[in-house]
Structure 1
Amino acid sequence: MVSLTPVEIEGFTFLAIAVELPKTTLLVVSSERGYIMCGALDVGLLNEKLKDRRIIAGRAVGVKTIDQLLEAPLESVTIEAEAMGITKGTIGRDALLMML
Protein backbone atom coordinates (compact mmCIF):
# COMPACT_ATOMS: atom_id res chain seq x y z
CA MET A 1 0.00 0.00 0.00
CA VAL A 2 1.09 3.57 -0.72
CA SER A 3 -0.10 6.54 1.32
CA LEU A 4 0.30 10.24 0.55
CA THR A 5 -0.41 12.56 3.45
CA PRO A 6 0.10 16.29 3.89
CA VAL A 7 2.21 17.17 6.94
CA GLU A 8 2.15 20.66 8.39
CA ILE A 9 5.23 22.08 10.12
CA GLU A 10 5.13 25.65 11.41
CA GLY A 11 2.42 26.57 8.89
CA PHE A 12 4.16 25.01 5.88
CA THR A 13 2.79 21.91 4.15
CA PHE A 14 5.03 19.01 3.14
CA LEU A 15 4.12 15.71 1.48
CA ALA A 16 4.63 12.49 3.46
CA ILE A 17 4.87 9.29 1.43
CA ALA A 18 4.86 5.80 2.93
CA VAL A 19 5.29 2.71 0.77
CA GLU A 20 4.63 -0.56 2.54
CA LEU A 21 6.99 -3.23 1.24
CA PRO A 22 7.61 -6.78 2.45
CA LYS A 23 9.28 -6.53 5.89
CA THR A 24 9.85 -2.76 5.67
CA THR A 25 8.23 0.59 4.88
CA LEU A 26 9.83 3.21 2.67
CA LEU A 27 9.33 6.68 4.24
CA VAL A 28 9.79 10.08 2.57
CA VAL A 29 8.78 13.63 3.47
CA SER A 30 9.24 16.12 0.65
CA SER A 31 9.32 19.86 0.15
CA GLU A 32 9.42 21.53 -3.25
CA ARG A 33 13.22 21.70 -3.12
CA GLY A 34 14.32 18.55 -1.31
CA TYR A 35 13.39 15.65 0.95
CA ILE A 36 14.25 13.53 3.93
CA MET A 37 13.99 9.79 3.81
CA CYS A 38 14.47 6.62 5.81
CA GLY A 39 17.59 4.45 5.65
CA ALA A 40 16.76 3.24 2.12
CA LEU A 41 18.16 6.51 0.72
CA ASP A 42 21.65 6.09 -0.75
CA VAL A 43 23.28 9.46 -0.05
CA GLY A 44 26.59 8.23 -1.50
CA LEU A 45 24.92 7.50 -4.83
CA LEU A 46 23.29 10.93 -4.89
CA ASN A 47 26.59 12.65 -4.08
CA GLU A 48 28.68 10.64 -6.52
CA LYS A 49 26.71 9.25 -9.47
CA LEU A 50 23.96 11.90 -9.52
CA LYS A 51 26.01 14.90 -8.37
CA ASP A 52 25.06 16.93 -11.47
CA ARG A 53 21.40 16.78 -10.38
CA ARG A 54 22.23 18.77 -7.21
CA ILE A 55 19.76 16.81 -5.08
CA ILE A 56 18.94 18.24 -1.65
CA ALA A 57 18.26 15.30 0.66
CA GLY A 58 18.90 13.80 4.08
CA ARG A 59 18.72 10.31 5.52
CA ALA A 60 17.58 9.12 8.95
CA VAL A 61 18.09 5.51 10.00
CA GLY A 62 16.10 3.33 12.39
CA VAL A 63 12.78 5.08 11.79
CA LYS A 64 9.55 3.19 11.25
CA THR A 65 6.97 5.99 10.98
CA ILE A 66 6.68 9.44 9.43
CA ASP A 67 6.56 10.97 12.93
CA GLN A 68 9.83 9.23 13.83
CA LEU A 69 11.40 10.45 10.57
CA LEU A 70 10.42 14.03 11.39
CA GLU A 71 11.93 13.80 14.89
CA ALA A 72 15.09 11.84 14.05
CA PRO A 73 18.54 13.35 13.60
CA LEU A 74 19.78 12.92 10.05
CA GLU A 75 22.52 10.31 9.75
CA SER A 76 23.79 11.67 6.43
CA VAL A 77 23.01 14.47 3.99
CA THR A 78 23.84 15.29 0.39
CA ILE A 79 26.46 17.85 -0.60
CA GLU A 80 23.70 20.22 -1.72
CA ALA A 81 21.88 19.91 1.61
CA GLU A 82 25.13 20.61 3.44
CA ALA A 83 25.64 23.73 1.32
CA MET A 84 22.28 24.97 2.69
CA GLY A 85 23.41 24.43 6.28
CA ILE A 86 21.72 21.06 6.78
CA THR A 87 24.26 18.84 8.51
CA LYS A 88 24.49 15.38 9.98
CA GLY A 89 22.50 15.49 13.22
CA THR A 90 19.95 18.06 12.02
CA ILE A 91 16.45 16.99 13.09
CA GLY A 92 14.26 15.96 10.14
CA ARG A 93 11.59 18.62 10.61
CA ASP A 94 14.26 21.33 10.92
CA ALA A 95 15.93 20.13 7.72
CA LEU A 96 12.62 20.34 5.86
CA LEU A 97 12.10 23.92 7.02
CA MET A 98 15.59 24.76 5.79
CA MET A 99 14.64 23.33 2.37
CA LEU A 100 11.90 25.92 1.80
Structure 2
Amino acid sequence: MLIEQIRLEGGCALGLRFEMQKYPLLVIRAEKGFLMCGYLNVNAAETLGDTAAKVKGVQSFEDMLKAQVVEVTQLARELGIKPGMTGRETLEKMF
Protein backbone atom coordinates (compact mmCIF):
# COMPACT_ATOMS: atom_id res chain seq x y z
CA MET A 1 0.00 0.00 0.00
CA LEU A 2 1.21 3.50 -0.86
CA ILE A 3 0.21 6.49 1.27
CA GLU A 4 0.94 9.93 -0.16
CA GLN A 5 0.22 13.51 0.88
CA ILE A 6 -1.52 15.47 -1.88
CA ARG A 7 -1.21 19.22 -1.53
CA LEU A 8 -4.18 21.25 -2.72
CA GLU A 9 -5.09 24.91 -2.28
CA GLY A 10 -7.49 24.20 0.60
CA GLY A 11 -5.23 21.83 2.50
CA CYS A 12 -3.37 18.56 2.37
CA ALA A 13 -5.27 15.41 1.41
CA LEU A 14 -4.17 11.84 1.99
CA GLY A 15 -3.91 9.52 -1.01
CA LEU A 16 -4.17 5.75 -0.52
CA ARG A 17 -3.16 3.35 -3.29
CA PHE A 18 -3.59 -0.40 -3.01
CA GLU A 19 -2.27 -2.55 -5.84
CA MET A 20 -4.85 -5.02 -7.08
CA GLN A 21 -4.27 -7.62 -9.82
CA LYS A 22 -4.72 -5.34 -12.84
CA TYR A 23 -5.55 -1.83 -11.66
CA PRO A 24 -4.97 0.05 -8.41
CA LEU A 25 -7.65 0.82 -5.85
CA LEU A 26 -7.36 4.57 -5.18
CA VAL A 27 -8.84 6.89 -2.55
CA ILE A 28 -7.99 10.51 -1.74
CA ARG A 29 -9.22 11.60 1.69
CA ALA A 30 -9.79 15.27 2.52
CA GLU A 31 -11.07 16.83 5.75
CA LYS A 32 -14.81 16.51 4.99
CA GLY A 33 -14.93 13.54 2.63
CA PHE A 34 -13.18 11.47 0.01
CA LEU A 35 -12.75 10.89 -3.71
CA MET A 36 -12.90 7.23 -4.77
CA CYS A 37 -12.06 5.23 -7.87
CA GLY A 38 -14.38 2.88 -9.73
CA TYR A 39 -13.59 -0.06 -7.44
CA LEU A 40 -15.65 1.50 -4.67
CA ASN A 41 -19.40 1.92 -4.31
CA VAL A 42 -21.18 5.26 -3.88
CA ASN A 43 -24.33 3.54 -2.60
CA ALA A 44 -22.35 1.99 0.26
CA ALA A 45 -20.84 5.39 1.11
CA GLU A 46 -24.35 6.91 1.01
CA THR A 47 -25.73 4.22 3.33
CA LEU A 48 -22.87 4.79 5.78
CA GLY A 49 -23.43 8.56 5.78
CA ASP A 50 -20.14 9.50 4.11
CA THR A 51 -19.36 12.50 1.95
CA ALA A 52 -17.94 10.90 -1.20
CA ALA A 53 -17.52 11.33 -4.94
CA LYS A 54 -16.48 8.80 -7.58
CA VAL A 55 -14.26 9.01 -10.65
CA LYS A 56 -13.65 6.17 -13.10
CA GLY A 57 -10.90 5.04 -15.46
CA VAL A 58 -8.05 6.29 -13.27
CA GLN A 59 -4.71 4.71 -12.46
CA SER A 60 -2.98 7.43 -10.42
CA PHE A 61 -3.71 10.25 -8.00
CA GLU A 62 -3.00 12.75 -10.79
CA ASP A 63 -5.57 10.95 -12.98
CA MET A 64 -8.08 11.29 -10.13
CA LEU A 65 -7.51 15.04 -9.85
CA LYS A 66 -8.08 15.52 -13.60
CA ALA A 67 -10.99 13.08 -14.04
CA GLN A 68 -14.63 14.13 -14.03
CA VAL A 69 -16.77 13.02 -11.12
CA VAL A 70 -19.49 10.56 -12.19
CA GLU A 71 -21.39 9.97 -8.91
CA VAL A 72 -21.73 11.73 -5.55
CA THR A 73 -23.45 11.14 -2.22
CA GLN A 74 -26.14 13.48 -0.89
CA LEU A 75 -23.73 14.92 1.67
CA ALA A 76 -21.31 15.74 -1.16
CA ARG A 77 -24.15 17.50 -3.02
CA GLU A 78 -24.75 19.59 0.09
CA LEU A 79 -21.14 20.81 -0.18
CA GLY A 80 -21.82 21.91 -3.78
CA ILE A 81 -20.21 18.87 -5.41
CA LYS A 82 -21.87 17.49 -8.53
CA PRO A 83 -21.11 15.13 -11.40
CA GLY A 84 -18.99 16.73 -14.10
CA MET A 85 -16.66 18.55 -11.70
CA THR A 86 -13.00 17.53 -11.71
CA GLY A 87 -11.58 15.52 -8.86
CA ARG A 88 -9.45 18.53 -7.89
CA GLU A 89 -12.50 20.85 -7.74
CA THR A 90 -14.33 18.23 -5.71
CA LEU A 91 -11.54 17.78 -3.17
CA GLU A 92 -11.16 21.55 -2.73
CA LYS A 93 -14.82 21.65 -1.61
CA MET A 94 -14.05 18.92 0.95
CA PHE A 95 -11.80 21.18 3.07
CA-based RMSD: 1.2
In the TM superposition, what is the alpha-carbon distance from 1:98 to its structure 2 partner?
Answer: 0.4
Please list every run of at least 4 consecutive aligned residues from structure 1 whose deviation after the TM superposition is greater than 6 angstroms.
none
Q: How high is the TM-score relative to the length of structure 1?
A: 0.88
CA distance in 2, matches of 1:43, 1:73: 15
CA distance in 2, matches of 1:99, 1:11: 8
Q: List runs of 5+ in structure 1 lacking aligned partners.
A: none
Q: 1:10-67 deviations in whole A, cap 9, x for unaligned?
A: 26211011000111200111012200011012112333xx2xx421000001111110
From the two aligned structures, give the one with the greater strand fraction: 1
Is there any run of 5+ residues in structure 2 with no aligned partner, and where? Answer: none
TM-score by length of 2: 0.93
The structure whose Rg is larger is 1
Aligned residues: 95
Question: Would you say the 8 A contact 2:45–2:51 is kept in 1?
Answer: no
- Aligned-partner Cα distance in 1 for 2:45–2:91: 18
Identity of aligned residues (%): 32
